[in-house]
């Protein structure tokens, strides 16, 4: 098992309070700063994640189902204010109006309305589950505007200052896709790439999407978006689930992983009274395939693995380095049902220890494989790299990763929610990445990994659970890690003792924290939005 090296943990503390519904704080409130927050930091840390887990007496089943709550930590002159608002999605409004779950989410099917007569209730079972607009995963930018996103066809434009919900945007109105990920990649000029599936007469396709960098008028959203190319799934009835993709300077890298979507099960989910999540399963017999897309598409195979987040990808000396957090088993998605997150005692220990951890790994993909390339020879000639790539057939190269960590990462529970100095080093050779250590079902430490020597630095305080670390470069940065790390830290044991943590990214020492007297659930992704 990939938990080799990970010790069996006992006596984990309950994190149930981190998956409880909370109230919004729509007007900014002051925070108390301990230590110092550098005055050069000017802007807002914007975060997204679930904030409400039930309506009336109906509860959501999966962590991804909770209603999107937007958080803003606004930093200016060494001071911080906090505000939060629920996204005013149609799902949120319909559910609130009736005080019951009216709109199905990833792991929760909305039961037919008891006010309808039997015949209508019966009929409603045969409708497709309608896509939710509960955009609870991330904050992203298209054409300079802030959007919140999930993995359906709907996004919302939001005001990054007030967190007010502006307009709902539907990808299907602009291009022929049925959904898009919440993890686009942006080039320095603002051009944005994403991926989305389409389901049509020809079966399922994976599509690479390009959104132009500029607006022609202020109202514009996704105008000018186009599908650059489509990739055919290995099995059209069972395409892979994917949460993100990788991008280097000249390639988009799509990772067709061994987590599959049974389209028949998904289409009939409502009929069977099940959530869409029931149609997503792990198939370890399937290779994971890396599709490199540019002028000529190449395919690289590796053994079954599961990946949610890429770290970085770059090209050098005829190779593409593909760095990502992966685990050897893809059942994690089913671990994150709310009942697991709310367990305590032995049941909690068991839920945690049964789960495979994610570790940072590098694949080295040779870019100039031709008909003349020999088989049976390791094509990775990079010194000091233990990754391998073997050509096994005309159009097939089989890859084995190298670890981007030492033994010590096992004791921190692996690494997820990876982040880098994105604006300067995405798609380029780089030295550092940051993430959360997972000695629990949610992150319980902040880690910095130095790829020179694969050394790790750790910030850990017992009973505290930090969120995804966001890197903010200092204005006069010379080196890659000149800057700070922002992370929102929550605790299940004390009421209303959330804080924004600011670490020196170079030394990994705490500079300061801004304490907020509110409870917030453990969230997903965030971004730093500099003050204009």
Whole-angstrom CA distances from 531 to 7, 224, 478 are 44, 27, 22
Q: Which of 496, 493, 512, 494 is nearest to 504 (CA)?
A: 512
Distance, in Å, from the CA atom of 403 to the CA atom of 383, rounded to the nearest integer, reads: 15
Distance, in Å, from the CA atom of 192 to the CA atom of 478, rounded to the nearest integer, reads: 27
DSSP, residue by residue, 408-476? HHHHTT-EEEEE--HHHHTTS---EEEEEE-SSSS--EEEEEETTTTEEEEE--TT-EE---EEEE-TT
Distance, in Å, from the CA atom of 87 to the CA atom of 68, rounded to the nearest integer, reads: 6
Q: Do the annotations mark residue 71 as ligand-binding?
A: no
Q: Do the annotations mark residue 243 as ligand-binding?
A: yes
Structure tokens given for 420: 């880098």
Distance, in Å, from the CA atom of 331 to the CA atom of 315, rounded to the nearest integer, reads: 31
At a CB cut-off of 8 Å and minimum separation 6, what does 490 contact? Answer: 18, 464, 465, 467, 498, 519, 520, 521, 522
Residue 239 phi/psi, 5-degree rounding, is -70, 165
Identify the burial level of 11 via C-beta atoms within 10 angstroms of its C-beta, where 0-12 means exposed, 13-18 middle and 19 or more buried: exposed
Q: Can you state the percent helix, strand and coil of the chain, rounding each to 5?
A: 10, 40, 50
The annotation places the binding site at 183, 243, 309, 525
The annotation places the binding site for Fe cation at 183, 243, 309, 525
């Amino acid at each position: 098992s990939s938990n080799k090296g990970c010790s069996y943990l006992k006596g984990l503390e309950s994190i149930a309070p981190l998956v409880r519904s909370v109230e919004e704080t729509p007007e900014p409130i002051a925070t108390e700063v301990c230590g110092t927050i550098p005055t050069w930091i000017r802007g807002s840390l914007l975060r997204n994640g679930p904030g409400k887990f039930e309506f009336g007496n109906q509860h959501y089943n999966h962590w991804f189902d909770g209603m999107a709550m937007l958080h803003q930590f606004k930093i200016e002159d060494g001071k911080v204010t906090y505000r939060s608002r629920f996204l005013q999605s149609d799902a949120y409004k319909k559910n609130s109006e009736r005080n019951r779950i009216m709109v199905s989410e990833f792991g929760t099917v909305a039961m037919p309305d008891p006010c309808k007569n039997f015949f209508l209730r019966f009929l409603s079972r045969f409708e497709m589950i309608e896509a939710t607009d509960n955009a609870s995963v991330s904050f992203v930018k298209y054409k300079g505007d802030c959007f919140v996103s999930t993995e359906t066809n709907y996004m919302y434009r939001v005001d990054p200052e007030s967190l007010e919900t502006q307009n709902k945007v539907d990808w299907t109105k602009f291009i022929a896709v049925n959904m898009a990920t919440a993890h686009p990649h942006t080039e320095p000029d603002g051009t944005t790439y994403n991926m989305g599936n389409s389901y049509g007469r020809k079966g399922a396709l994976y599509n690479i999407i390009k959104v132009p960098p500029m607006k022609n008028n202020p109202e514009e959203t996704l105008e000018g978006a186009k599908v650059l190319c489509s990739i055919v799934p290995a099995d059209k009835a069972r395409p892979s689930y994917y949460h993100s993709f990788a991008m280097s300077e000249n390639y988009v890298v799509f990772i067709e992983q061994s987590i599959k979507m049974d389209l028949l099960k998904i289409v009939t989910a409502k009929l069977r009274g099940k959530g869409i999540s029931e149609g997503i399963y792990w198939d370890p017999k399937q290779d994971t395939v890396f599709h490199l897309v540019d002028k000529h598409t190449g395919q690289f195979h590796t053994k079954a693995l599961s990946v949610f987040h890429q770290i970085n990808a770059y090209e050098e000396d005829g190779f593409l380095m593909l760095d990502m957090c992966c685990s050897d088993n893809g059942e994690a998605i089913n671990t994150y049902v709310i009942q697991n997150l709310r367990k305590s005692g032995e049941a909690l220990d068991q839920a945690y220890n049964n789960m495979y951890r994610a570790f940072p790994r590098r694949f080295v993909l040779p870019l100039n494989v031709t008909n003349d390339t020999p088989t049976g020879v390791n094509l990775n000639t990079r010194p000091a790299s233990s990754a391998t790539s073997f050509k096994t057939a005309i159009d097939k190269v089989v890859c084995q990763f190298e670890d981007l960590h030492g033994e010590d990462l096992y004791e921190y529970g692996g690494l997820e929610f990876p982040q880098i100095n994105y604006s300067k080093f995405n798609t380029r050779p780089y030295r550092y990445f940051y993430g959360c250590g997972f000695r629990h079902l949610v992150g319980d430490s902040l880690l910095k990994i130095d790829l020179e020597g694969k050394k790790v630095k750790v910030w850990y305080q017992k009973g505290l659970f930090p969120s995804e670390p966001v890197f903010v470069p200092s204005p006069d940065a010379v080196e890659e890690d000149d800057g700070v790390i922002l992370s929102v830290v929550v605790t299940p044991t004390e009421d209303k003792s959330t804080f924004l943590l600011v670490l020196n990214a170079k030394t990994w020492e705490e500079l300061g924290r801004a304490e907020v007297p509110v409870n917030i659930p453990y969230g997903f992704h965030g971004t730093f939005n500099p003050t204009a």
